[in-house]
Amino acid sequence: MQPPPIIETERLRISPLTLDDTPFIISLLNTEGYRKYIADRNVHTREDAERYLQIGPLKSYAEHGFGLCKVLLKSSNDEALWQPIGICGLLKRDYLDHPDIGFALLPEYESKGYAKESAEAVLRWAFEELRLPTIHAVVLPQNQASIKLLERLGLMFDSRITEPETGEELCLYGINRFPHIRLRTATPADAPLLRYWDTKPHVMDSDPDDDWHWETELANEPEWREQLIAEADGRPIGMVQIIDPLLEETHYWGECAPNLRAIDIWIGEESDLGKGYGTVMMRLALERCFAPPNITAVIIDPLASNTKAHRFYERIGFRFVEKRVFNDEECFVLRMERQDFVRNEAPIST
């Protein structure tokens, strides 16, 4: 199998380990935290480190297509200066039913959000690209820092298990690919929640000048619009708006061809970002848009400055069309054709 791909985040690059990483491996595996909370791997020489890499991460890459990877800090514009600060990735242990996520950082890089940032990226890749149904994690009960991080990542305590070789008691955590996510019609009762979400910085960043007047908007049900609340296991997590841009009464989109749909979508709480919910919400919205056979394409208009949104939409299958100004805001127009939706569509595990 191929080694795992390089994963980029805002501050980090996660890439496969190689035999050239032996000095870094020696340093990491001999930190006090690694020996205390993970294991003493007896790695002290270059030969020890090469053996660890060959029978550990490199073997896992070949057998499973995933494994522990090095985490590089993007410390400057010169990639040659980027240094490894830790490891993060998936492992496959014989005593667990599903792969588990592992991470470790050099002590000087702890408590800076790097472990969470790298783990979120690995989980997103595991769920969205590998389409794994469940990810586990095992941790010593006394490792409270890692337990808190796992819970912030959305993993839930499952049970206490015994490590077969060492006899150590471990806490088993897990997270499923997606909870049951559904879209329901928004009602006036949702107005307070939507107003609250509108105060969140990440929501304001995506639409800084918009005042939705939710009490008024939710009381109206024009034929050209659907307003939908996304729920995960019954808990509201976001908003989806689907409109017919040709019939929309403010003519926001200007001159439009018939048989199009436009989507607005956002996640309410920052803690729900990076968990794959947006992908499921968008796919459910696209299914809704393309259900009528006459609909030819779906369009969206993220801010030109919102590069994260651009990558998200392009990963789903949208393609850049043009840069336009809407209500004094510079936006990108992206479009998905019906045939691209059919080609990219995959079953959603809910």
Task: Tokens for 222, please give them.
Answer: 């024009």
Give the number of other CB atoms < 10 A from CB of residue 3.
18
pLDDT tens digits along 111-170: 999 999 999 999 999 998 998 989 999 999 999 999 999 998 988 888 899 999 999 999
pLDDT at 276: 75
* 237 close to 269: Cβ distance less than 8 angstroms: yes
Chain center to CA of 90:
15
Overall fold of domain 181-344: Aminopeptidase (3.40.630)
HSE of 185, CA atoms in CB hemisphere, 13 A: 9
pLDDT at 178: 66
Reported CATH class of domain 7-176: alpha beta
pLDDT at 210: 64
pLDDT tens digits along 80-123: 899 999 999 999 999 999 999 999 999 999 999 999 999 999 99
Task: Tokens for 153, please give them.
Answer: 């990542």
Q: Which residues contact 91 (CB under 8 A, 6 or more apart)?
A: 60, 67, 68, 99, 100, 101, 102
pLDDT at 274: 75
CATH 3.40.630.30 occupies which residues in the chain? 7-176, 181-344
Alpha carbons 342 and 350: distance in angstroms, whole number: 19
51-59, long-range: CB < 8 A, 24+ apart: 52/25, 53/17, 53/18, 53/19, 53/21, 53/22, 53/25, 54/19, 57/16, 57/17, 57/89, 58/17, 58/19
| Low pLDDT (below 50) residues in the chain | 344-350
Alpha carbons 255 and 296: distance in angstroms, whole number: 16
Alpha carbons 263 and 167: distance in angstroms, whole number: 53
Alpha carbons 219 and 198: distance in angstroms, whole number: 18
CA dihedral 313, 181, 120, 346 (to 10 degrees): -50
Alpha carbons 200 and 221: distance in angstroms, whole number: 26
